[in-house]
Structure 1
């Protein structure tokens, strides 16, 4: 069992930290909003009021925050992890950020005596709550093996995909695929509803064929119910598609559908849907059809 500092206890980080505590690890959590530490404390963990205090004596520092600047602040800013964690600590960054930022932070971490892996996750709130996340890991093989007990406590599919930054690259590809699936599911549901089809029956039969997917299983009912409480917010998916767009341009890769998805996600945000679940792309389909929602 490890002594773990867990930085970032939001929709994803909180249940992940709870699973680690219940698995027997000694977990201390820190979050900008202190009330978010309550579930971890109830599960047997503890709370700290600063990053510096959270990482005292930690073998492992887990980070789950929204964007590249947040990870840079948590790790490299004054009073952050690099300034306060014990030498040799293993840093696991579960956040989804730019691959180039990850690679640069990995170089700095190594120069300061730390080990680090990027381990972005897929599966949303349900995956975090059920410890069934898919985790794509970049870093040294030996660091991946050292982190494996922690990763296995929060994920179901845990795969080492290459050096530092590779995990973030695979996650960017994941977000491109997911966005495309959600948009097409939204269009299909709008199409079916326009013809008065028995919607539960339609979703059932679609799910049993080649059109079946995890997206259909998890998001179709939210669209049917017009219930878009966030499991993964449009704001975050918009950020992830920005990562795809930038990285693809740098590599000379052409992603025309990805470019369209980025614009549709941006439109959703511009229309006030940024805080909703990404299944709320369905609202954009309705807006394009002239329907008020």
Structure 2
């Protein structure tokens, strides 16, 4: 079920938000703008202080945030399954203050086994997103949700605020599987676009004109439109960091192995991202910077 509804009034509703990175800070701001009483927590103080300056409230600890939200909704926007586990179940984690009826929405790409584990402890909606920092700022994210029908319906008003297209895929973990399918396409398409544009350059053809010629044809994609432009300009200021792209590719490979799915192109994809991040030390470069492997 896909929703494109636009009712975005959460006036008076308490919502917790944990993780105020490039995407989380924008998403928390959108929720606050609806009239919600947003209580935040972040590992570093700078983003939390900025949220307070914008009118939100900051909890001193994770258990305090959980107690403040009570049986309401807490959103997580964190980088890895390990960080989510520490925030939820670790010493001083949310679990120490969670109240009956609380619902957690995980916007990160956390993987299937970890998601199922977390859902054993609390009502959980996995809602990974696509659209990057640009989509978070514009509240136009695509959201892939997994969870029970009842949990999804509770989460839906929040999801509508930060996303444009919201799809309920099925039970807990379904959102993660769908996001990994998305990331498989993204990771390999970035590689294909990088190869195509660099190949054109080496053949003496202007890569900017090649990109322009391909737009609107069968080879067109958001990656050719946005990341292809970055590649042509050699502008790899991070929006989506390569280290996180590698993390996602490894989660894809983990899922594939668990299902007995074999793919030489997936193996090569993982090798390319590992080369970029671990051998070349480019983990903090935007993932469109995979182009740099072919630019040498």
TM tier relative to shorter chain: over 0.9
Give, in angstroms, the shift of residue 264 of structure 1.
0.3
Give, in angstroms, the shift of residue 197 of structure 1.
2.6
Of residues 267, 273, 283 in structure 1, which corresponds to 2:282? 273
**Please, which runs of 5 or more residues in structure 1 have no aligned partner?**
110-114
Which residue does 1:112 correspond to in 2? none
* Cα deviation code 1:78-104 (max 9, x no counterpart): 221222122211100111112011011
Q: Which fold has the larger relative contact order, with Cα–Cα distance below 8 Å and residues 6 or more apart in sequence? A: 2
Which residue does 1:104 correspond to in 2? 117
Answer yes or no: is the 8 Å Cα contact 1:91–1:117 preserved in 2: yes
Which residue does 1:285 correspond to in 2? 294
* Cα deviation code 1:97-133 (max 9, x no counterpart): 1201101110122xxxxx2111111111111111111
SS in 2 for 1:159: strand
Give, in angstroms, the shift of residue 34 of structure 1.
0.8
Which residue does 1:24 correspond to in 2? 35
Query: Mapping of 1:1-293 within 5 angstroms?
Result: 1=10, 2-58=13-69, 59-109=72-122, 115-269=123-277, 270-286=279-295, 291=296
Give, in angstroms, the shift of residue 200 of structure 1.
3.1
Assess, with a 3 A threshold, how the Cα gap between structure 1 residues 46 and 276 changes in structure 2: closer, same or farther.
same
SS in 2 for 1:4: strand
Between stretches 271-280 and 222-231, larger displacement belongs to 222-231
Separation of aligned partners in 2, 1:258 and 1:145? 35
Answer yes or no: is the 8 Å Cα contact 2:197–2:210 preserved in 1: no
Between stretches 28-37 and 195-204, larger displacement belongs to 195-204
Answer yes or no: is the 8 Å Cα contact 1:21–1:40 preserved in 2: no
Give, in angstroms, the shift of residue 199 of structure 1.
3.3
* Cα deviation code 1:147-191 (max 9, x no counterpart): 111001111111001111111111111111000110000011101
TM-score in terms of structure 1 length: 0.93
Give RMSD over aligned pairs. Answer: 1.3
Count of paired positions: 282
**Please, which runs of 5 or more residues in structure 2 have no aligned partner?**
1-9
TM-score in terms of structure 2 length: 0.92
